[in-house]
Structure 1
């Protein structure tokens, strides 16, 4: 007679199988990205619900603007006109500083490239996971958004895109515990890494030497390293500096300049390679540096001045002349470019000294970097 109820696997075996399956799924997703397409499809399917949930807020904003009184609108218009006047005055100086900065970067041969395209986006929802600080924006792959794209606000850096669907995208904030950002101190260009500690806390700068010159109130900006953010965007302001005397380390905290808990409108940035431009190779950068060095030397010493002067040979320079690039003496006719010295009537020694400055040598004149 068969038993009425068949006994299945034990609870321990079920738990073990479930744990093994969960670990396998985590490894497959984190190491091999096996579920990226599935996650993208799910975000695309869920995106209409984001727009539907955001509808009441848009409706309320429209109703409040419609019911606003004429006096309030006139007052707001007057305030905005005054702010626009001040902004335009600052913008005129900013344009001058921008052109001056471009000229200085060209002179110094800086390879930095500024963002050339921006797009306004709106936050649709924020994540409810307490262990992940992310927001959803209303721009996706149809708008050219890509993974890793930097996102800023009007006050500073916000984060970068981690997942993209057709109509929406997910942005991880700089305060997320899994996020780290290369930054530098605006005052002295010290470069460090700012790690997120949760949006309820400040950013953390760990394991710095106790003699690091970082003070409370220092402005931290993006360093440009890593290829994500361009250099100079504000990130945070140092809020506390604590020195651990036992381990000779300094624990530094910095408060983000952007209000990460009240995000509404953001800016998506596209770097200089948006239209297919690729960074220069190291050899090309070195060649550009040599060409610019040649141009700078030619500005200081035009080639016409060098062509007018006959290049003498070592045999023609029999007397010490500061204008002669090759010097020989009767004591040491085989020595070129140097003068032997004597001391108190003794025989000539092997001590020699150059007679012309290094900037007049042919190698520097021809733009060759030693």
Structure 2
């Protein structure tokens, strides 16, 4: 239905005018940049509409990123926790290896001081009888060990081999109640016998008169008179001297210089060659890497 009264230009004219105005605005904006202010104002006015339209996508991406980051952090935390436990376990092993290395270095230094053929052995068992001081080492007659062989640690005399098997040997400690070791006072050469008491940290020096020249702190060394231990090896230190006038002998206690209660390695020493040991030493494997020939004195 046509309008009764026509008001203004026709639709075609309006379209043409709009197109021309648009082209003019585009040319002016492109060449002279006069509409930047208007565009900025319009962008500010339309920003809430853009934000609302983009909100679902942004929220979805944020939630996905949060959960992905949390899962990644949890997995990373678990991995680092496992690595931490692993490294702590290795650190404990390294600490043990470091201590073992120090003990072996001390043993090697001791072997140079001994200056004889030596063999490093490891303790593999300890007699749990409180009245017996014996240990088992991992060297036997295949390595040349023999009965009566002196055994040392890095500091002093430990004991002697009393029983030899093919692959292991039993060592009687100097603190065993059945062990006696000829010693002398390093300060003055006074000779006596160091008797085991059955206690790991105590020796007795019996049958010394009250006027014997021995004092607390004196170092006891092997005298070499027993035929098994060569002279000059440290044995113990005097820790107490009790003299009672009514008694004929002084009560003297000494503490072993060797770490009998915590050492893990020992030195088998070839300082003497008894007839019963010559054949076993000759039959020992000369290529045994654990056997060491020290410097000749």
Tell me the TM-score range normalised by the shorter chain: 0.5 to 0.7
TM-score by length of 1: 0.45
Q: Secondary structure at the match of 1:161?
A: strand
Note the C-alpha offset of 1:248: 2.7
Note the C-alpha offset of 1:185: 0.4
Note the C-alpha offset of 1:202: 1.2
Aligned to 2:90: 67
Aligned equivalents of 1:213, 1:177: Cα separation in 2: 25
Aligned to 2:194: 194
Aligned to 1:295: none
> Are the aligned partners of 1:115 and 1:269 in contact in 2 as well (CA < 8 Å)?
no
Note the C-alpha offset of 1:116: 2.3
Number of residues of Structure 1 aligned to a counterpart in Structure 2: 187
Aligned to 1:217: 217
Note the C-alpha offset of 1:157: 0.4
Aligned equivalents of 1:159, 1:272: Cα separation in 2: 15
Q: Deviation string for 1:223-273 (max 9, x for gaps)?
A: 111111111111000000001211231111000001211120000011243
CA gap 1:216/1:139 in 2 versus in 1, 3 angstroms: same
> Are the aligned partners of 1:115 and 1:270 in contact in 2 as well (CA < 8 Å)?
no
Q: Deviation string for 1:166-201 (max 9, x for gaps)?
A: 111100100000000000000000010000001245
Aligned-CA RMSD value: 3.6
TM-score by length of 2: 0.56
Gaps of at least 5 residues in structure 1 are 1-62, 85-89, 99-113, 278-370
Aligned to 1:207: 207
* 1:166 pairs with 2:166: yes
Gaps of at least 5 residues in structure 2 are 1-85, 280-297
CA gap 1:65/1:166 in 2 versus in 1, 3 angstroms: farther
Q: Deviation string for 1:4-48 (max 9, x for gaps)?
A: xxxxxxxxxxxxxxxxxxxxxxxxxxxxxxxxxxxxxxxxxxxxx
Aligned to 2:289: none
* 1:129 pairs with 2:129: yes
Q: Where in structure 2 are the equivalents of 1:189-338 lying within 5 Å?
A: 189-273=189-273
- In our comparison, the structure showing a higher alpha carbon Rg is 2
* 1:152 pairs with 2:152: yes
> Are the aligned partners of 2:182 and 2:193 in contact in 1 as well (CA < 8 Å)?
yes
